[in-house]
Structure 1
Amino acid sequence: MSLIKTVARVCQMTCGYRHNFYRDVLLASSYNFTRSSLSPNTIWKRNHSAIISPFEFDEVHDIHDGDRDAPLILPNNEAEFVIIGGGLMGLSLAFHLWRNLEELTPIKASKHLAPVIAVVERDPSLSKASSSLSCGGIRQQFSHPCNIKLSMKSTEYLKNIKLHLATAGQDIPDVQYNPQGYLFLATQNGADQLMTNYTTQIENGAKVMLMSQNKLKEVFPWMNVDGIELACYGLENEGWYDPWALMEALKIKLKSFGVRFVTGEVVGFKKKYASEQNPAGRVIASMPDGSRTEIAESVQGTYLPVEPRKRYVYTVHCPDGPIFDCPMVVDPSGLYIRREGFGGHYICGMSPEDDNSVDHSNLDVDYDFFHEEVWPRLAHRIPAMEKLKLKSAWAGYYDYNTFDQNGVIGKHPYYWNFSFLTGFSGHGVQMAMGAAACLAEKLVTGPGELSKEIDVTPLGFERFIINRPVVEANIV
Structure 2
Amino acid sequence: MNSLRASYDVVIVGGAMFGSSLAWWLTQMPGFDGTVLVVERDPTYEFASTSHTNSCIRQQFSSTINIQVSQFGVKFIKNFRQFMGDDPEVPHLALQSFGYMYLADTPEFAQTLLRNQKIQASLGAGTQHLSRDEIAAAYPFYQLDDILAGNHNQIDEGYFDGGTMFDWFKRKARHGGVDFISDEVVAMTKSPDGKTIDAVVLKSGDTIGCGTVVNASGPRAIATAQMAGVSLPVEPRKRYTFIFDAAEPLDGDLPLTVDPSGVHLRSDGKYYMAGCPPDEDPAVAFDDFTFDHNLWENKVWPAIATRIPQFERIKVINEWVGHYAYNTLDQNAILGRHSAIQNFIFMNGFSGHGLQQAPAIGRGIAELISYGEYRSLDLTPFDYQRIENKRSMVEQAII
* TM value normalised by structure 2: 0.88
Corresponding residue for 1:428? 354
Residues 217 and 348, structure 2, Cα contact 8 Å, conserved in 1: no
- Give the counterpart letter for 2:307 in structure 1: R
- What CA distance in whole angstroms lies between the structure 2 residues aligned with 1:290 and 1:412? 14
Instruction: State the secondary structure of the residue aligned to 2:150.
Output: strand
Q: Which deviations, in whole Å up to 9, do the C-alpha atoms of 1:377-398 show, x marking residues without a partner?
A: 1111000111111112011111
| 1:172 corresponds to which of 90, 96, 99 | 90
Instruction: State the secondary structure of the residue aligned to 2:360.
Output: helix
Corresponding residue for 1:104? 31
1:368 offset after TM fit, Å?
A: 0.7
| RMSD of Structure 2 on Structure 1 (CA) | 2.5
Structure 1 residues 97 and 187: alpha-carbon distance in aligned structure 2, compared to 1, 3 A threshold: same
- Give the counterpart letter for 1:79 in structure 2: Y
Corresponding residue for 2:210? none
Residues 167 and 256, structure 1, Cα contact 8 Å, conserved in 2: no
1:288 offset after TM fit, Å?
A: 3.9
Corresponding residue for 2:202? none
Note if 1:389 corresponds to 2:315.
yes
- Give the counterpart letter for 1:104 in structure 2: G
Task: Give unpaired runs (5+ residues) of structure 2.
Answer: 196-214
Note if 1:461 corresponds to 2:379.
no
- What CA distance in whole angstroms lies between the structure 2 residues aligned with 1:290 and 1:162? 31
* TM value normalised by structure 1: 0.74
Q: Which deviations, in whole Å up to 9, do the C-alpha atoms of 1:5-49 show, x marking residues without a partner?
A: xxxxxxxxxxxxxxxxxxxxxxxxx9xxxxxxxxxxxxxxxxxxx
Structure 1 residues 257 and 360: alpha-carbon distance in aligned structure 2, compared to 1, 3 A threshold: closer
Instruction: State the secondary structure of the residue aligned to 2:111.
Output: helix
Instruction: State the secondary structure of the residue aligned to 2:103.
Output: strand
Corresponding residue for 1:74? 4
Corresponding residue for 1:188? 106
Corresponding residue for 1:472? 395
- Give the counterpart letter for 2:180 in structure 1: F
| 1:295 corresponds to which of 209, 212, 227 | 227
- What CA distance in whole angstroms lies between the structure 2 residues aligned with 1:205 and 1:371? 40
Q: Which deviations, in whole Å up to 9, do the C-alpha atoms of 1:352-378 show, x marking residues without a partner?
A: 232139777422221210110111111
Corresponding residue for 1:37? none
Note if 1:333 corresponds to 2:261.
yes
- Give the counterpart letter for 2:103 in structure 1: L
Residues 13 and 216, structure 2, Cα contact 8 Å, conserved in 1: no
- Give the counterpart letter for 2:227 in structure 1: I
Note if 1:197 corresponds to 2:125.
no
Corresponding residue for 1:362? 288
| 2:181 corresponds to which of 237, 248, 262 | 262
Aligned-residue identity in percent: 34
- What CA distance in whole angstroms lies between the structure 2 residues aligned with 1:469 and 1:229? 29
Q: Which deviations, in whole Å up to 9, do the C-alpha atoms of 1:121-179 show, x marking residues without a partner?
A: 111111111011101111010111111111111111111111122675x7332445322
Task: Give unpaired runs (5+ residues) of structure 1.
Answer: 1-29, 31-71, 106-113, 277-283
- What CA distance in whole angstroms lies between the structure 1 residues aligned with 2:371 and 2:228? 27
Structure 1 residues 359 and 322: alpha-carbon distance in aligned structure 2, compared to 1, 3 A threshold: farther
- Give the counterpart letter for 2:4 in structure 1: L
Corresponding residue for 1:118? 37
Residues 236 and 285, structure 2, Cα contact 8 Å, conserved in 1: no
1:289 offset after TM fit, Å?
A: 7.2
1:290 offset after TM fit, Å?
A: 11
Residues 174 and 245, structure 1, Cα contact 8 Å, conserved in 2: no
Instruction: State the secondary structure of the residue aligned to 2:355.
Output: helix
Larger helix proportion, structure 1 or 2?
2
Structure 1 residues 386 and 290: alpha-carbon distance in aligned structure 2, compared to 1, 3 A threshold: farther
